[in-house]
Chains A and B, each alone.
Chain A
Amino acid sequence: MGPILKRFFLDLSFPLLIFSVLIVKPCVAVDRKPTIKDPESPGDYVFRYKTLAPDPGPPGRLIAADAPNDAGGTIIVSWGKAPGDNGIFDTVKGYIVYRSEAPDTGFSMLTRLPAGSGSYSDASPENGRSYYYRVASIYADDTLMAAETAGAIPRTQFFHTRRILVLLFMLFFSGAAIFLISHSKKGGDLYIRPIAGIDAVDEAIGRATEMGRPILFVPGLGEASRVATIAAFTILGRVARKVAEYQTRIIVPNYDPVVMTICQEVVKEAYAAAGRPEAFDVKDVYFVTQDQFPYTASVNGTMLRERPATNFYMGMFYAESLILAETGFVAGSIQIAGTDQLIQIPFFIASCDYTLMGEELYAASAYLSREPQQLGTLKAQDWGKVAAILLTGAGIIAYLFSRGAGDALKAWVIGG
């Protein structure tokens, strides 16, 4: 046993010596001096493996290019990270970007960026002039300038190349709408499915008349430029006209002064169209406040004091949707809501008698007027949906035949 062990250790002694020199010694050195003090942040210790960290060097390949798809005046400078700027050694303190209008001289500091940066967007150049850039990497003891210089000329662009698909879809949609409008004008029959929420409008106004109570129309918190608010104007016009015909009263509290002005005009015109302009009271279409919850409190107070027979919530709503709708329920009103705010739709469905979901709000105009032009655009929306379905199907098929999908399927089948 003894000779065998002796032979074994003798045979291993040389490899063990080599191992200790190559591996153990650096590790011992690291253990002895694992950290160095950061000269820029006294008190902080930067942990780095000094023996393994690469030597300091300048940044990598430098590129300067005019920013694409903009009005000009911007150059994007990018560079390869300097040695040691890889999130492990942290020996790079940052980068300095220099700029000049000549390729060789006159460089002045433009900005200093933290370690990890790989690009800088210079938004100060003038269109049509040449600009040259150099980048330096900053280390604890040294600042190393990149040898190369990159230049670019900022220019304004005439077409946004990344919006080609949007343009194609817009042309397809507009073309389909114009074709269908002309088709329906010629007498083509376009079917539109019943929308319960809009069908209930007349019934709700009749109920208000019978009960001798007013109707409350809340146009939401959206500005007049929001499409959902514009759709709300359409429904308001229809409701106000019926209200005028039935000789009842409509109350419209507003969050936005511009919306208020338009609502006043819409209601006034509706009363005039119904032959009762004298019945319109401008004080029934009023401004409340531009604060969300004070507005909600005011509308809730109106509901509980006036006890409207019917409440309409049409337009854009946020957190106040459920507070309004539940108060309306407590007040015993029939409630019809319509919004394109996805998060608020479940709240309205839970609290209201009828809810126009998303696109139904926009379809209301065509549904109410039955004008061929309006129905044509509605049909174009259906064509758009068909296009979306086809694109979704194509996407699914493309995914299934891709390498990633194949791997995922294989993993699912064999449990890998």
Chain B
Amino acid sequence: MRREVPLTIVFICGAFMAFQYFVPHYASATVYEYALNWTTIISIFTLAVGIGSLVNLHSDRIARRKPTWRYSIVTLAALAFMTILGVSSPDALSNPTGLFMKVYFYILSPVQATMFALLAFFIASAAYRAFRAKTLLATLLLLSAVIVMLGRVWVGDMLTGWLPEGLRFSYVANYILDFPNTAAKQAIYIGVGLGVAGTTLKIILGIERTWLGGGK
């Protein structure tokens, strides 16, 4: 019963979702909307489970004086501070001059932007490793990347301006992006679409059960 009940629920819900996609009737749309609302409600409740996990993990680290226990104090203090700020005022989330939003705008947002900015440096280091011409395919990748990069900036056309238009870097770069690149992307998209359809079918029919825990 521990497995049969969830599998039956998944089959009924999955079959209904497939059915409602083709049936725009009022009754079908109402049930669909009702189901989506319930998903949102359940998600909100699970946030409490997530916070419980966070508090449990960091409390344990502090209690056991694990190597990073001081960071855990900062985490729990920040969690408590923001929670108190959030519930202390009814307009905490809508008032841009309130302390809650100030912390968000002047501390959290810059920190997130800093983290995102690291991406530029990581792209450079990853590209350096990826573009080493060890094999024929890697050499082709390197050449394509060089052409596309140069074709996107003025230097590309400055270097190849004396050539016919069809051989200039900007033209070749656009050609690479518009044809071989798009063709490969479409092929992956088709594969992903079929993979999603196959996995969905397996879940609805109860063939795929790993999400229940354990699996076979």
Q: Which A residues are within 8 Å of any B CB, using their own CB?
A: 69-73, 127, 156-160, 163, 166-167, 170, 173-174, 177, 181, 223-225, 227, 230-231, 233-234, 236-238, 254, 256-258, 260-262, 265-266, 268-270, 272-273, 283, 286-294, 296-297, 301, 305, 319, 322-323, 325-326, 340, 342, 345, 347, 349-351, 357-359, 361-363, 365, 369, 371, 373-374, 377-378, 380-381, 384-385, 388
Contacts and interface: CB of A to CB of B under 8 A. Distances in A.
Given A237-B214, A293-B116, A384-B194, A159 B201 contact: no
Interface string B190-206: 11101111111111000
- The 10 A-B residue pairs whose C-beta atoms are closest, nearest first, are A269-B214, A257-B50, A362-B195, A265-B213, A287-B50, A359-B191, A359-B195, A350-B130, A269-B213, A293-B115
A224 B18 CA distance: 18
Interface stretch (B51-59, B94-102, B149-157, B164-172): B51-59
Interface in B112-163: 112, 115-116, 118-119, 122-123, 125-127, 129-130
B207 A159 contact: no
A258 B210 contact: no
Contact of A358 (B29, B195, B215): B195
Contacts of A223: 43
B201 to A, nearest CB: 6
B202 A374 contact: yes
Nearest to B58: A286
Interface in B82-113: 108, 111-112
Contacts of B68: 305
B214 A70 contact: no
A37 B144 CA distance: 58
A14 B68 CA distance: 101
Given A156-B24, A374-B208, A326 B126 contact: yes
Given A283-B56, A286-B57, A357-B188, A231 B199 contact: yes
Contacts of B34: none
A71 to B, nearest CB: 4
Contacts of B214: 237, 265-266, 269-270, 272-273
Contacts of A157: 24-25
Given A350-B127, A371-B207, 17 more contacts: A71-B28, A158-B24, A159-B23, A227-B196, A230-B203, A237-B214, A238-B215, A265-B213, A286-B57, A359-B188, A359-B195, A362-B195, A374-B207, A380-B201, A381-B191, A381-B194, A385-B191
B116 A358 contact: no
Contacts of B130: 349-350
A48 to B, nearest CB: 41
A347 B129 CA distance: 11
B185 to A, nearest CB: 6
B174 interface: no
B211 interface: yes
Contacts of B28: 71
Contacts of B129: 350-351
A71 B31 CA distance: 12
A173 B201 contact: yes
A334 to B, nearest CB: 15
A377 B201 contact: yes
Given A159-B23, A358-B191, A377-B198, A287 B215 contact: no
A14 to B, nearest CB: 54
Contacts of B37: none
Contact of B24 (A127, A160, A268, A385): A160
A162 B214 CA distance: 41
Contacts of A361: 195
Interface string B25-49: 1101110000000010011001111
Nearest to B21: A163
A177 B201 contact: yes
B180 interface: no
B214 to A, nearest CB: 3
A230 B112 CA distance: 28
A127 B212 CA distance: 42
A231 B197 CA distance: 12
B26 A322 contact: no
A254 B6 CA distance: 23
Contact of A385 (B29, B47, B190, B201): B190
